[in-house]
Structure 1
């Protein structure tokens, strides 16, 4: 069908509607039916049946019109650019389903809105770049069409700013990105040499050795193929050897999802390796060579120019992925166990050496079974290339071909064995990384804490990211983090001997030996008094809200809000559940992640850490959860409670995570915390901490009369208030009429304050640079000014 005929052809609306319900390949029918049932049911639940029909039929027609128009432009103006096969029919069901999916995302919460959209983009882009059939073009067009329909139908409008992700969600996105780079080439291999920008991976999966009427050749200037009627790859299945490196990327993707640092490094290395290999092919492959290759492959429809463009884009994609993983490398904090990386490197090194030695010895030993007879000098020179899967060998490096089955075994099998060993080594590296959380200082520190207890916030010392100092002659320890030469403790000492005189001084001496400035952060009055002999300065950084479950009741005028919330919960059928993360169902955990991601997405700054936990920390079996469920059993609010350990076990709990749905009833948090007080009383607990609100101390007097360091903290508190609401949180806790106990920061002298301030910021937001802090301040300042005006 010519371009003119295509342009002049009238749009057949009936054919377009039929295409939305037609499946040409019956093998795809079960998947299409499953997609309609799953996507349709989910979309109907969030936006109603009428909107689903509008998105499917109306969106399908719009997609068909736009797709056909794009086909006209491509055929007329971009004939040499590898984009996609030209569309001549209406959009298929998969495109209409994608439109429904994107439309329904406008009615979903923050977590599923982002996940659905990114998953749809990944699917559509992967198919378009690696395959690029006409259906794949329609799938790509379905993304903006579905989004527009969702917004016009009353859904949430897309915001231009990038929404924040929690640490867990960041790992999900990085894992998905890594998986796409592994799955995409497989799609290109299955589709052969398609028409997409990255379909060149399908070309690279073809065996360069060709059988022309039974004669083995390469089709290069060194080993040209004779004129023949029958051409075929010598080993059509050889392309699947190239799947093994991609399987390593899938293993890395799984490890990134679980926060394994070794997996992220492995993914970066593999993508850089792919970039280097494809860039080499692009640099050394001449158009004439590609023309020769095309000449011996009559079924190949990609021009030389298209192949060169595809090679250039194919080289850039893994480079961009590697850079993205590197930028967000802190999302994978779990280190490998000692020796895991060296073991991986040793395994790969031994496998490479063995592969090369076997290839060299086998090729020379069976030299008479190759044509022409291999030149030993050239063989040694190009030997490292034999580690590559055979289909990725540069044509110029092939100067002889195997003739017999034994020679073909020597040609194909060594690289397959090498990459299989690398795959096993990668699995061991990623799996052994998970053991890092159960070994070393963290286990020892947890044991010290469980034996002798600590302050109300001591359980935070068991979180990842902390380093530990253990008293050499006492059962006590400090948890700390070092940034910029400043060692910031997380609370005071913990353990049975935490109150012994000299523990703090010994930690100070330890820091001095390493050239660090020690800072005792968020310590109570007892620790401050124990460190008084240091003669250091101190300032209040927060006020901890404390309740005694044995005597606290919701009576009294000032606790009216708590009673009102409890009564309203009874009327609306809201109930509480005291549980643990490990006891929750998969659906319950998904709901908690949705609530948490919705909370993080609305923040102006990244999710913070140090003394502020997130959903990852709730997975500890020692941490308890108090959930609020509505009448339908849906979770509408969650709080997490860290154990407070004393001499004889758990003596209370400390509040950590506190998050709710936007549509939860007013007062749900007052109701939940009131239920926790009752639970703590039933367990015989003597203390319940609502924790401190960082930088929200209840200071008395005029701000102008405060010391300089307190004024700086006041300004920082005002700056962060619009993003995290520390002051609002402190005011919320007043509803329970707790006793407020100051939490102190103890430091050597005021000259260290600039370095201490930056160190604290980096503790709460790891990886923050001076430039990043400046940009963060610029984003927060307008909101802080607006908040101050509203308060005034």
Structure 2
């Protein structure tokens, strides 16, 4: 049913795929069986001299083989299908067909100029025959980008341009040239068809755009040689990589050449995320590649110049010039890329930790020494299997070449070469070991820690917090594991945790200027400078307007139960359970005590520790962190405890309360309320004990004249159904979260906790997750999961997966154990 619905919504995509399949089969059969049909007469001569004008269209609606058809049809389904969804069927048809024809005409014209005036240096293969549906696909994608959101507009344009430039430089076929022309043609068509002409804007620092450019340059230089190697001998200016990356005699060892490529991709990813270490890694790779290609140029230059001299009295084969120019260009471009990276290094400013940098150096230098030793001993031990037989000095001189994949080393410039199978293994193995070690070290360096928490920052953040201003989660910002950003303009700060490349802020800003929207904007810019995706977790309705200027997506992640102590009056039928619990505790001799950790005796502390450890032992999963405190968070002198102590002096239940700082009528800082955090009871405690403890806390807050008492939020649980005004994406995500909440109920009991809080008749306030774009949600979700469970083991993860199975019968309205 879903497949049929997709077909009905994408008629042009379906028709395009059908035409490509039919024309490709007909064209292949016609050329094979000599039927004389000229359906695929697509070359420049066919179109202009023989007036087969249909070639301008059929050239972009067929491929030249079954293998290509297997890749092209899914490509059309994904890209053209997405374009049709963005701008409709008729616009997509115009963009694909009209854009292909326009690209072909322009491409033919430019090819004529090239062959007439630049014949000595062909930039791409001549347009004898060009079958390239990719041209129409890129046209449709570029046109559709004008109908996409700002975020996807940039992604589509960058992706299409990246593919087109890579194919042109490293392959250089006529179809690749048309695909390159299709980039501006599709862009113009998008504007002409009514697309948006607004400039791309993203709520991040402008540094991000520069990092994206640098990352694209590094990625292009890394992936391009792979494209050239797959093609073999192309006609692009950089296609010489294809000649160097192929080893017909030893194809498996040629895979070693992919390791430096992988290091380059890791470096590009790190640059995109602002990692300075990744930038210097990329610089080293570019310089090394330049040196290698310079060696290739030095080796082939005399032979090439000799061939040119021998053809002095006749027309020189232009591809001889292309070989010479291409090798020189391959040596110059990496050096230029390295210079560009160095000049713009200030935009990539996240330093690695000392531990990460030291680990990288240790691994790299150890691999360097180890592979050099292996190479020297290995070649020396079987030196008779090389020609000429090398001496120990010859081997030492050639050791730097052993770190380079052997396919990039021209044999004409070597002092000795292997002659047997085992000699070739010893010859190529060191490079593989070295680059595997460098790849491992690079991943650890780029993905390693970058922020070091300074105790001075924590003291400064605490001072800002206590000056007043914030929300019910603000005190959690003082917990270990948080980094701090301080606003240089106003008296405010943000606590955040970085997981992967996502910065998860604990609620919103705190401090006297916490409600200033510009504080949020400056923090978002700070995250952009460091290559992080910012997100705010646990924002309440009272401060949601502070974030309105971002125009971000939001998702309800919890319900916060809020009480007003001044209005506390547990009378009436709704309060029956609370009154019963209080009366039962009184008859049993259980009393409440409002205290702090420092005021407790050693025996009382040990009792609380025993209660907590017993609770943890019952769980298949560890205690959550982030916004859920444990024993470590009780020791703060500002955290208050409400204990239930039985007649024998034994603590049977404990709750902790985090202060909410505000100001009084005179503007002086004070504690305006508390937020419930830690909540544990003994396994043998009587039912109703926890209700008694919380009721006692509310009475205490009322007597102290406090304004608010939060029972905190219940993650993945809702007090009421989601509003029907949510869009489709929001509804789907909400359903997923609802499923996860039901599945995790046996493990953590969030919904039971929510039902327990309902007994106190609170005001339920939604807590929101704010994030830039829907596409960021998977990464944001994973980052929040790591914030809550940073040390989740494999065994515990398997337990979590078992708990994710629906168990509807286990969702009971029971008193929570936490």
Q: After TM superposition, list the pairs within 5 Å mapping 1:378-397 onto structure 2.
A: 378-397=394-413
Q: After TM superposition, list the pairs within 5 Å mapping 1:267-666 onto structure 2.
A: 267-283=282-298, 285-288=300-303, 303-431=319-447, 433=448, 435-437=449-451, 439-441=452-454, 445-446=457-458, 449=461, 453-455=465-467, 491=491, 609=525, 616=532, 618-619=534-535, 621=537, 649=658, 651=660
Cα 1:653–1:14 shift into 2, 3 Å: farther
Q: Helix, strand or coil for the counterpart of 1:619? A: strand
Q: Helix, strand or coil for the counterpart of 1:651? A: strand
| Rounded Cα–Cα distance in structure 1 between residues aligned with 2:289 and 2:213 | 21
How many angstroms does 1:244 deviate by?
A: 1.1
CA RMSD in angstroms comes to 4.9
Q: Which residue of 2 aligns with 1:204?
A: 244
Q: Which residue of 1 aligns with 2:270?
A: 255
Larger Rg: 2
Matched-pair contact (CA < 8 Å) for 2:272–2:531: no
Cα 1:490–1:627 shift into 2, 3 Å: closer
Q: Which residue of 2 aligns with 1:66?
A: 106
Matched, 1:137 2:177: yes
Matched-pair contact (CA < 8 Å) for 1:458–1:491: no
Select the structure with the greater relative contact order (CA < 8 A; seq sep ≥ 6).
Answer: 1
Matched-pair contact (CA < 8 Å) for 1:63–1:91: no
Q: Which residue of 1 aligns with 2:794?
A: none
| Rounded Cα–Cα distance in structure 2 between residues aligned with 1:290 and 1:244 | 33
Cα 1:325–1:47 shift into 2, 3 Å: same
Matched, 1:180 2:180: no
Cα 1:166–1:544 shift into 2, 3 Å: same
| Rounded Cα–Cα distance in structure 1 between residues aligned with 2:524 and 2:200 | 23
Cα 1:425–1:187 shift into 2, 3 Å: same
TM-score normalised to the size of structure 1?
Answer: 0.54
Cα 1:436–1:162 shift into 2, 3 Å: closer
Cα 1:355–1:199 shift into 2, 3 Å: same
How many angstroms does 1:614 deviate by?
A: 11
Cα 1:378–1:490 shift into 2, 3 Å: farther
Q: Which residue of 2 aligns with 1:498?
A: none
Q: Helix, strand or coil for the counterpart of 1:286? A: helix
Q: Which residue of 2 aligns with 1:246?
A: 261
Q: Which residue of 2 aligns with 1:235?
A: 250
Cα 1:135–1:5 shift into 2, 3 Å: closer
Matched-pair contact (CA < 8 Å) for 2:102–2:185: yes
Q: Helix, strand or coil for the counterpart of 2:466? A: coil
Structure 2: which 5+ residue stretches go unaligned? 1-40, 311-316, 496-508, 546-550, 558-625, 628-635, 640-656, 664-706, 713-818
How many angstroms does 1:238 deviate by?
A: 4.0
How many angstroms does 1:170 deviate by?
A: 5.1
How many angstroms does 1:361 deviate by?
A: 2.2
| Rounded Cα–Cα distance in structure 2 between residues aligned with 1:392 and 1:544 | 58
Report Cα offsets for 1:10-29 as digits up to 9, x if no partner.
Answer: 34222333233212232233
Cα 1:302–1:358 shift into 2, 3 Å: farther
Cα 1:627–1:102 shift into 2, 3 Å: farther
Match of 2:232 among 192, 197, 204: 192
Paired residues in the alignment total 501
Structure 1: which 5+ residue stretches go unaligned? 208-232, 296-300, 463-467, 471-476, 482-487, 496-521, 526-542, 548-595, 601-605, 629-634, 655-679, 686-792
Cα 1:652–1:617 shift into 2, 3 Å: farther
How many angstroms does 1:455 deviate by?
A: 3.9
| Rounded Cα–Cα distance in structure 2 between residues aligned with 1:615 and 1:366 | 50
